[in-house]
A and B are shown apart, each in its own frame.
Chain A
Amino acid sequence: MADIDVNLTELPAAGAGARRPCMVLGTGNIGTDLMAKLLRSDGLELTAVVGIDPASPGLARAREAGLEASAEGIDWLLAAASPATIVFDATSAGAHRDHAPRLAAAGLRCIDLTPAKLGPSVVPVVNLDDHLDAPEINLITCGGQATIPIVAAVARVTEVPYAEMISAVASLSAGPGTRANIDEFTRATARGLEEIGGATRGKAIIVLNPADPPILMRNTVFCALDAGADQAAVAGSIAVMAAEVATYVPGYRLTTEPVFDDGRVSVFLEVTGAGDFLPPYAGNLDIMTAAAVRVGEELAKASLLEGVAQ
């Protein structure tokens, strides 16, 4: 699987086969799941996991995986990172607001998984190309990662005056940060449906479901359509988009054919997590870490191309 013995200093300069170094900041569930995914990335080489609690199980897991692990936080990271290092911030919105200016001052690219939302909002299959140069990128919300691609798929075929999404996630997969700031989810996701998905107006709804065993993340997207919209083209575009998302979120799938009636298309989809560290029902968390890795890999690819061009 992952070649974790490669020493950063032995890496060849940008060129075919080179992997770009990255570090994970944050040693909670998200940070640990990211670690598992990054360890098998072709384009990225995870060089360290950084936290602030020496007793954190996440740091212990990083050490077990043969990675460098520090409990000295952003200070350690800034000292240890090479200029090419991509930083995945999986801490909290508050911590990220402290990290962001320091990472920017050091010229380090950052992919932000917290709700701080300081950089441009990105869904990898929709608008990453517009933000390849951004100092940091934010990943909106889990529901946004799941549903914005569908809205974009419809909007590239026909006008979408209104899009609405409903995410239902297992209670166990919604952490205290999400719960204490649930308005941020609805606002940020609705904005993403508009600004990235291309709907004129967007609305987002989130429901926490405590069923035991836990439910898989499920999402519904409703797009209002003009009477003359080409249904076959819309359905085709949705199928293509779903397959593209599934290239980096393997558990992403439509549960029914798109349903056309009442002047709308209804799309039902479910996200099973890869089960790297987080349990498979937590598709909502998996889609965030998977999207983060995809963004990192695309940044790495873009920098390689730049290297070649230079």
Chain B
Amino acid sequence: MTSGDTPYPAKITVVDSTLRDGSHAKRHRLTVEQVRAVAGALDGAGVPWVEVSHGDGLGGSSLNYGLSLVDELELIAAATSVLTTSRLAVLLLPGIGTKDDLARARDLGAALVRVATHCTEADIAPQHLGLARDLGMTAVGFLMMAHLAPPEALATQARIMADAGAEVVYVTDSAGALLPSRAAERVEALRAVLPTDVAIGFHGHMNLDLGVANSIAAVRAGATWVDGATCGMGAGAGNTPTEVLAAVCDLEGIETGIDTFAAMDVAEDIVRPILDRLPFVGRSSLLLGYCGVYGSFLLHAEQAAKRFGVSEKEILLEVGRRKAVGGQEDMIVEVGAELAGLGLRQPGREA
């Protein structure tokens, strides 16, 4: 469909989400020292945007998603203090974070916010996109679980975000479930309906090992913003690794502005030592991609499986069957409890 006949955009803008999506992989236990080291190194490598927030966005610190070891505002301030040319981005999910959270992050130096909604729920974003514009921030829409919406439906949602002030709208593959052709179709559909001054972004995961390939397909289709996480540190099997993305873009003639060798050093010397485990397409993360389940459910399912002595695979499959969307981590505990026989819904046990 888009087999190279479309000219590449000459230049893309990379957002490194190691200190936001990577928060999931760290169970939200990032320290000030780690944040300062990673942010400083990314700045040195010329990565234009560094995202820092709880994995579930501003205000995400909770029993549901995991309590932050260090208040994210402290982490944001720590990152801002070491950035020289890179700028700081944050994530906000309406329904979890509030406008107050956004205003506080902005006061600490956040210059861009990705306002993230499920791919069919863009109309909960205008309050926050509008505030971002009012605060002089770059306003970005982030349509999560994009594999669940057909291209035209996704484009309609993107239009809602653009109309509310988004300057960039992302196709966000939260489950790492897209294939290159499907990523490209979605970007093309957005391009067809969005005003020319609204850019399109792509956020990929590695659950099917396709983060880099999907990103290149998205760029071919017209995306000019692409997310990575250094060493792939992120939810599920990890994100598109920033250093690999930079290298592949070099080889493809796509300009990122990133010093690729420096990005490799950040990955090897700074991020790899703080990984709790290497991002890997194991059975559970592969299941996420294969069944299209929200990436950050992975560690929660592992925990619930241990807690209730039930199968992690069964939990993920059942959560998928119940059509949980991003943010419904609580359902993992409920399903675990039910699989362990604590449920009250079985026949004869009606409450």
Q: Please indicate the chain A residues that have their CB under 8 angstroms from the CB of B118 in the complex.
A: 207-210
The answer to the question of B289 belonging to the interface, with a C-beta cut-off of 8 Å to chain A, is: no
Residues of B at the A interface (CB closer than 8 Å) are: 62-64, 94-96, 98-99, 118, 120-121, 123-124, 126-127, 307, 322-328, 330-331, 333-334, 337-338, 342-345, 350-351
Contact B123 A166, beta carbon cutoff 8 Å = no
Q: Please indicate the chain A residues that have their CB under 8 angstroms from the CB of B123 in the complex.
A: 176, 179-180
Among A162, A166, A180, A220: residue with most chain B CB under 10 A: A166
Contact B63 A164, beta carbon cutoff 8 Å = yes
Among B62, B126, B326: residue with most chain A CB under 10 A: B62
**How far, in whole Å, are A1 and B344 apart by their CA atoms in the complex?**
32
CB-CB contacts of A253-288 with B at 8 A, as 1s and 0s? 111110101001010100000000000000000000
The answer to the question of A153 belonging to the interface, with a C-beta cut-off of 8 Å to chain B, is: no
Contact A255 B325, beta carbon cutoff 8 Å = no
Residues 177-222 of A at the B interface (beta carbon under 8 Å): 179-183, 185-187, 203, 205-211, 215, 218, 220, 222
Number of interface residues of A (CB under 8 A): 38
Q: Please indicate the chain A residues that have their CB under 8 angstroms from the CB of B350 in the complex.
A: 253
The answer to the question of A234 belonging to the interface, with a C-beta cut-off of 8 Å to chain B, is: no
Q: Beyond A181-B127, A182-B95, A210-B118, is A256–B64 a contact (Cβ under 8 Å)?
A: no
Main secondary structure of the interface of A (DSSP, over half): strand
The answer to the question of A116 belonging to the interface, with a C-beta cut-off of 8 Å to chain B, is: no
Known: A183-B98, A207-B118, A264-B63. 18 other contacts (CB 8 A): A164-B62, A164-B63, A168-B325, A179-B124, A183-B99, A185-B95, A186-B95, A186-B96, A205-B96, A208-B124, A209-B323, A210-B120, A210-B325, A211-B323, A220-B330, A253-B350, A255-B338, A266-B337
Q: Beyond A186-B95, A255-B345, A268-B337, is A166–B127 a contact (Cβ under 8 Å)?
A: no
Q: Beyond A171-B120, A205-B62, is A187–B98 a contact (Cβ under 8 Å)?
A: yes
Q: Please indicate the chain A residues that have their CB under 8 angstroms from the CB of B95 in the complex.
A: 182, 185-186, 205-208
**How far, in whole Å, are A220 and B337 apart by their CA atoms in the complex?**
13
Contact A259 B342, beta carbon cutoff 8 Å = yes
The answer to the question of A292 belonging to the interface, with a C-beta cut-off of 8 Å to chain B, is: no
Q: Please indicate the chain A residues that have their CB under 8 angstroms from the CB of B322 in the complex.
A: 211, 215
Nearest CB to that of A243 among chain B residues?
A: B351
**How far, in whole Å, are A183 and B323 apart by their CA atoms in the complex?**
24
**How far, in whole Å, are A228 and B345 apart by their CA atoms in the complex?**
30
Main secondary structure of the interface of B (DSSP, over half): loop
Q: Please indicate the chain B residues that have their CB under 8 angstroms from the CB of A185 in the complex.
A: 95
Contact B331 A256, beta carbon cutoff 8 Å = no
Contact B127 A253, beta carbon cutoff 8 Å = no
CB-CB contacts of A148-179 with B at 8 A, as 1s and 0s? 00000000000000101010100100001001
Can you give 15 contacting A-B residue pairs, CB < 8 Å? A164-B63, A168-B325, A171-B120, A176-B123, A182-B127, A183-B127, A205-B327, A208-B95, A210-B120, A211-B323, A218-B334, A255-B344, A256-B334, A256-B338, A257-B344
**How far, in whole Å, are A211 and B343 apart by their CA atoms in the complex?**
22
**How far, in whole Å, are A103 and B343 apart by their CA atoms in the complex?**
47
Q: Please indicate the chain A residues that have their CB under 8 angstroms from the CB of B96 in the complex.
A: 186, 205
Contact A207 B327, beta carbon cutoff 8 Å = yes
Q: Please indicate the chain B residues that have their CB under 8 angstroms from the CB of A242 in the complex.
A: 351
Nearest CB to that of A185 among chain B residues?
A: B95
Q: Please indicate the chain A residues that have their CB under 8 angstroms from the CB of B323 in the complex.
A: 209, 211, 215
Nearest CB to that of B334 among chain A residues?
A: A268
The answer to the question of A224 belonging to the interface, with a C-beta cut-off of 8 Å to chain B, is: yes
Q: Please indicate the chain A residues that have their CB under 8 angstroms from the CB of B124 in the complex.
A: 179, 182, 208
Chain A nearest CB, measured from B156 CB (Å) = 13
Q: Please indicate the chain B residues that have their CB under 8 angstroms from the CB of A176 in the complex.
A: 123
- Contact with B333, one of A183, A207, A209, A259 (Cβ below 8 angstroms): A259
Contact B334 A209, beta carbon cutoff 8 Å = no
Q: Please indicate the chain A residues that have their CB under 8 angstroms from the CB of B94 in the complex.
A: 182-183
Contact B64 A166, beta carbon cutoff 8 Å = yes
- Contact with A209, one of B64, B324, B338, B343 (Cβ below 8 angstroms): B324
Q: Beyond A207-B95, A256-B334, is A180–B126 a contact (Cβ under 8 Å)?
A: yes
**How far, in whole Å, are A246 and B110 apart by their CA atoms in the complex?**
46
Q: Please indicate the chain B residues that have their CB under 8 angstroms from the CB of A186 in the complex.
A: 95-96, 98
Q: Please indicate the chain B residues that have their CB under 8 angstroms from the CB of A168 in the complex.
A: 324-325, 327-328, 331
- Contact with B328, one of A166, A179, A183, A187 (Cβ below 8 angstroms): A166
